[in-house]
Amino acid sequence: MRFAAILLFATLIARSVQSQQNSKPNNVLILYSDDHSYHALGAMGNKEVKTPNLDKLAASGMLFKQTHVMGGHQGAVCIPSRVMLLTGRLVNRLPGDGGTIPDSLVALPEVLRAKGYTTYHSGKWHSDKASHGRFFSAGGDIFFGGMHFEKEGGQPHPTVYRFDSTGNYPVSRRRIADTFSSTLYAENTIRFLDSKTAHDNPFFCYVAFTSPHDPRTPPAEFAKLYNPTNINLPPNFLPQHPFDNGDMNVRDEQLFTRPLTKTMMQQDIANYYAMISEMDHNVGRIIDALERNGLRENTIIVFAGDNGLAVGQHGLLGKQNLYEHSIRVPMIMSGPGIPKGSSYNGFNYLSDIAPTLYDYLGIGKPASAEGRSHFSVFKQPRQFVRNTIYNVYGHWSRSFKSADGFKLILYNVDGVQHTQLFNLSKDPWEMQDLSAQPEYRQKVAELTSLLSKEMAETHDNLDIALPNWGRQSNQKPRGS
């Protein structure tokens, strides 16, 4: 009897060990939206925009309420944003702002590919094709560029390339798609999730939508969800920005003439929300496919926006500024071990996603990844990893936020220096500049000093925030 019990125990241990050896690592699904500001999500408290699938995803995991793109040095902020997401690199350490990703910057899909994962991509790619070939072993339709211009029947139909395993992407693999971009990329992804490959190997699946980036021409079924006359303009809407912020003539700011009017912005926001709702619908289709194939329980899902957008706030239209609407993005993580219906109010960057996933998967991060893992917040969401946040735009503006709710923005535009100070805890829409008030003089000095330190630590060579702020700077004011 005793021998039989020992034999049974040994058999159970052997089976347990074999099960652990045969268990498949967690899959990763990243869903990335384009020009999607943090506030344009139902789960973030916006009662006008309709995002039922993303709200459901947030309820199934953790909603990150203070996620930021670190910024960019030129108008196409989405270029460094996407590289920061995949590599965990900080913006000031991206050669050429991420337009080309050198071999020295090791990306998450590259690491997972070496470990036997299928690394799949469909959608936007805004960097060089060589790095794309290095990162991904499979894919669907790939769009190389920043935005879709082609139109047919009132909707943009992207020029895309079928995935090329050689990474060369000859013209023969190029075509104009016959459907709306979000639908196209979702259908690509669904086919992958339905495939034998997705079941036989662990996967990293990266879906990079181009919605809700302009041109904003939503399909009719989603456009009819929003009556422009019922759209409430944000409280910080202005007809035009009160001073030159350094990039007043960038492409985004030329979409409408100034002064902006209530009617034009109600229509634009309605179209913006409609495109978000259309993308949300396709996010739901992808998650349904994941569940239908029995893959949901073994997959961590990350949804995030690449950068925000003004859409009329502060008299601006684009993301080429350092206000909250442009630097903050929605972010959700859902998967095994992540508490359902939870939220995190601490600061984090898109650069922190890759380090977090390395820890989640139990994989050491490469030395080139500089972000901070937030894996610990899944167990302790009230313990913040970052207490400050620092942002960059161009060669002429920097911002700094502290845990006490104050935010400083400094500008040096053609030698003209400008300071803004906001108390976000009382003024979340950044409507009252406190910088000129004597009682806040010390706070401006304190944050300026902290910003200078942060800039030094993050390899920012601009002297905009040195202690001599307020005197004429010799710094070259604008980059190309």
Instruction: Tokens 């894996």: give the residue.
Output: 375
Give, in order, the Cα–Cα distances in Å from 82 to each of 2, 127, 209, 365: 61, 9, 12, 18
Give, in order, the Cα–Cα distances in Å from 27 to each of 35, 276, 296, 339: 26, 26, 9, 18
Selection from 336, 339, 344, 350 nearest residue 298 by Cα: 336
| 459 vs 276: which has the higher pLDDT | 276
Residues 70-95, mean pLDDT to the nearest whole number: 96
Q: Give the model's pLDDT for residue 466.
A: 58
- Give the tokens for residue 212: 């809700």
CATH topology of domain 395-457: Arylsulfatase, C-terminal domain (3.30.1120)
Whether the model clears a pTM of 0.85, i.e. scores above it, the answer is: yes
The sign of the CA dihedral 453, 372, 89, 190 is: negative
Residue 472 has pLDDT above 60, yes or no: no
Q: Give the model's pLDDT for residue 213.
A: 95
Residues 223-230, mean pLDDT to the nearest whole number: 98
Residue 34 has pLDDT above 90, yes or no: yes
How many C-beta atoms surround the C-beta of residue 423 within 10 A? 16
pLDDT tier, 177 (very low <50, low <70, confident <90, very high otherwise)? confident
Q: Give the model's pLDDT for residue 153.
A: 52
Are 212 and 219 in contact, with CB atoms under 8 Å apart?
no
Q: Worst-scoring range by mean pLDDT, 31-40, 144-153, 210-219, 283-292? A: 144-153
Residues 6+ apart with CB under 8 A from 222: 274, 275, 277, 278, 281
At 371, the amino acid letter reads G
Q: Give the model's pLDDT for residue 470.
A: 53
Q: Give the model's pLDDT for residue 209.
A: 97
Distance CA 113, CA 116 (A): 5
Superfamily (CATH H level) for 26-378: Alkaline Phosphatase, subunit A (3.40.720.10)
Q: In the chain, what is the straight-line distance between the N-terminal and C-terminal CA atoms, in Å?
A: 82
Selection from 237, 228, 238, 321 nearest residue 269 by Cα: 228
Please give the distance of CA 75 from its chain centroid, rounded to a whole number.
Answer: 16
Q: What are phi and psi of 21, to 5 degrees?
A: -70, -35
Q: Give the model's pLDDT for residue 7.
A: 41
Residues 368-397, mean pLDDT to the nearest whole number: 96
Q: What are phi and psi of 169, to 5 degrees?
A: 50, 70
Start and end residues for every CATH 3.40.720.10 domain found in the chain: 26-378
How would you label 171-189 residue by residue, b for 16+ Cβ within 10 Å and e otherwise? eeeeeebeebbbbbbbbbb
Distance CA 393, CA 398 (A): 6
Distance CA 465, CA 460 (A): 10
Q: Give the model's pLDDT for residue 436.
A: 96
Distance CA 470, CA 436 (A): 12
CA atoms within 13 A on the CB side of 201: 17
Residue 15 has pLDDT above 70, yes or no: no
pLDDT tier, 149 (very low <50, low <70, confident <90, very high otherwise)? low
Start and end residues for every CATH 3.30.1120 domain found in the chain: 395-457
Q: Average pLDDT of the chain?
A: 91
Instruction: Tokens 């950044």: give the residue.
Output: 430
Distance CA 330, CA 102 (A): 28
Radius of gyration of the chain (CA): 23
* Residues facing residue 359 across a β-bridge: none
Q: Give the model's pLDDT for residue 275.
A: 97
pLDDT in tens, 97-142: 999 999 999 999 999 999 999 999 999 999 999 999 999 999 999 9
Strands 389-393 and 397-401: antiparallel
Residue 148 has pLDDT above 80, yes or no: no
Give, in order, the Cα–Cα distances in Å from 257 to each of 37, 107, 231: 22, 41, 20
pLDDT in tens, 322-338: 999 999 999 999 999 99
